[in-house]
Amino acid sequence: MYETLSSDYDRFVNWENRLAYEMPFIERLLKDLKEKAGRPLDILDSACGTGMHAIALARLGHHVSAADLFPQMVEISRRNAVKAGSVVQFETAGFGQLTAVFGEKHFDLLLCLGNSLPHLLSAAELEAALRDFAACLRPGGMLLIQNRNFDQVMQTRERWMEPQVHREENGEWIFQRFYDFQDDGLIQFNIVTLKNENKRGWQSAVASTRLRPQLRVELESALACAGFENVRAYGSMAGDEFSPGSSGNLILTAVR
């Protein structure tokens, strides 16, 4: 999916609105961590996509590293950082590979945002990724996870998500996301991209990937097994209380 979507990813995400909504919550976490550390923080953004969270954190004066499995995303991230005038170390690395690339006990905060963790399709892969996260963090370091609230998704089995529209002077893009629930318990996540660029008429493309719905109970148990403590759940990146039946997201913080 993401090789196909990479060129349009920054059109798919409204970064101005998303960062304005999410960064205040992240900054509250940073304030507490910075007070304890007494210095600018070392932060790792795993599955960084096109690097926008990493760039925003670097602008706050922190030392930021970031990784993504897909070289196409890493290249776009580097271009975005240059454009923003921000210094971020971007590397190509997937879940389970972070310690080998960045070293052990190096970071004060590790981010895993954008519903990235459910791309791991087995409990064993999830366990390995969380142990890798833990190894990257200093004692007292924090992990922040942002997933879809799959407790609600699996209860309602709602397939369709709200379309997203992006307009530029030379064209228009429409992104329609939907799920296919599979017999083995996995979900096929689909994005239909419709675009009319330079008045050449509408073109369409479909990109798909598989997800494993991670319920709150499983994820919290896996975090404990990986050595994390003080797990807290929120319902959004605004820090709302988590409701299994109504929250759009499952946000978890946990301390190494």
Which fold, 153-211?
N-terminal domain of TfIIb (2.20.25)
Which tens digits make up the pLDDT trace of 140-173?
Answer: 999 999 999 999 999 999 999 999 999 999 999 9
pTM: 0.96
Q: What pLDDT was estimated at residue 213?
A: 98
Which fold, 2-151+214-255?
Rossmann fold (3.40.50)
Q: What pLDDT was estimated at residue 4?
A: 80
Q: What pLDDT was estimated at residue 9?
A: 93
CATH 3.40.50.150 in the chain: give the residue spans: 2-151+214-255
CA gap 57, 207 in Å, rounded:
30
Task: Show the low-confidence residues of the chain (pLDDT under 50).
Answer: none
CATH 2.20.25 in the chain: give the residue spans: 153-211
Alpha-carbon dihedral sign for residues 132, 136, 140, 143 = negative
